Amino acid sequence: MRLYPTIELQQGRCVSLFRGRLEEPQIWHVDPVEKAREFAEVGAEWIHVTDFDAVAGAETDNAEIVESIIRQAGVPVQLGGGFRSMDRIAEWIELGAGRVVIGTAAVHNPDLVKEAAKYYPDQIVLAVDVFQGQVMSQGWTATAVYTPEDFIGWFENDPLAAIIVTDIDSDIGDADRSLALVTRLADCARAPVIARGTVRALDDISRLKYVPHVSGTIIGRALFDRSIDLAEALAIAQPAPEPRAEFI
């Protein structure tokens, strides 16, 4: 299973949000580019970056910082935030983003996901944000009428790199319920599933590792508040060695 340490940006700062509340960020006083390099040096194979200013449609976003992370981290970047047109998708892939994550636009304009996946196979990631059993959009502020199963089904024939499943309830819910949601959606998805919002401790990685069709998990706040050590998490995420027969 692959771990995706995440850097979430707002006004040039590393932040974490509680249930997506842009107005109440938890600010981490670290340099985002240095933090990305640190994650890569420890052994991360990918880094996930979310630009919350782009999510909110702000005129000034964190483009320069994101470009620096892409150039300097030394590992591929999976980038989310404000991807609502083919032009923006193409722009960031040309700038070096390894993958682009589409969430809100997928709800309102599913053809954009299909077109992007056609032109950039295995570089487009679908974000499925779930709250109380329904898909959310607009930075977790609007409830769609679709169930996550139906939503994922729209794209079953498109060459997606992955599907990110976020349990918005996870900040107030229990870990078993979050794991059940990820397990259910991974079972009906054709693309590999990346879980988000399900890891608070190393034990959560151990359990998630054995869920079929889950290829990875995104970890943010737990790395910044030091609840989880990335090196230990990476070691746990590694596949267990296959048993070998003893020959006499």
User: Is residue 244, in this structure, part of any structural domain at all?
Assistant: no
pLDDT above 90 (res 239): no
At residue 157, the pLDDT reads: 95
Spell out the residues 6+ positions from residue 152 whose beta carbon is closer than 8 angstroms to its own. Answer: 126, 128, 163, 185, 188, 189
Percent of the chain with pLDDT over 90: 68
At residue 141, the pLDDT reads: 62
pLDDT band at 87 (very low <50, low <70, confident <90, very high): very high
At residue 167, the pLDDT reads: 84
Take residue 2 and report the two structure tokens written for it.
């692959």
Would residue 129 show up in a list of annotated catalytic residues for this protein? Answer: yes
pLDDT above 80 (res 137): no
At residue 27, the pLDDT reads: 93
Contact criterion met (CB below 8 Å) for 72 and 86: no
User: Is residue 186, in this structure, part of any structural domain at all?
Assistant: yes
The total of structural domains in the chain comes to 1
At residue 173, the pLDDT reads: 53
Would residue 204 show up in a list of annotated catalytic residues for this protein? Answer: no
pLDDT above 80 (res 14): yes
User: Is residue 243, in this structure, part of any structural domain at all?
Assistant: no
User: Is residue 48, in this structure, part of any structural domain at all?
Assistant: yes
Q: Kindly name the residue from 8, 53, 61, 167 that is annotated as catalytic.
A: 8
> H-helix or E-strand containing 106?
helix 104-108
Percent of the chain with pLDDT over 70: 88
User: Is residue 214, in this structure, part of any structural domain at all?
Assistant: yes
Partners of 217 in beta bridges: 3, 195
Q: What is the DSSP letter of 208?
A: H
At residue 18, the pLDDT reads: 73
| Alpha-carbon distances, residue 115 vs 102, 134, 193, 227 (angstroms) | 12, 25, 20, 40
Q: Kindly name the residue from 51, 129, 167, 204 that is annotated as catalytic.
A: 129
**CA dihedral over 192, 135, 3, 99, signed as positive or negative:** positive
Which stretches of 125-245 are DSSP H helices? 148-153, 175-188, 202-208, 221-224, 230-237
pLDDT, tens only, 100-136: 999 989 999 999 999 999 999 999 999 998 887 788 7
Take residue 219 and report the two structure tokens written for it.
């970890």
pLDDT, tens only, 192-227: 999 998 888 999 999 999 898 999 999 999 999 999
pLDDT band at 140 (very low <50, low <70, confident <90, very high): low
User: Is residue 146, in this structure, part of any structural domain at all?
Assistant: yes
pLDDT, tens only, 142-164: 667 788 999 999 999 999 999 99
CATH classification of the domain holding 125: 3.20.20.70
User: Is residue 247, in this structure, part of any structural domain at all?
Assistant: no
Domain that includes residue 231, residue range: 2-237
pLDDT, tens only, 21-75: 666 788 999 999 999 999 999 999 999 999 998 887 776 679 999 999 999 999 9
At residue 171, the pLDDT reads: 55
User: Side chain identity at 116, as an amino acid letter?
Assistant: A
- CA 75 to the chain's CA centroid: 16
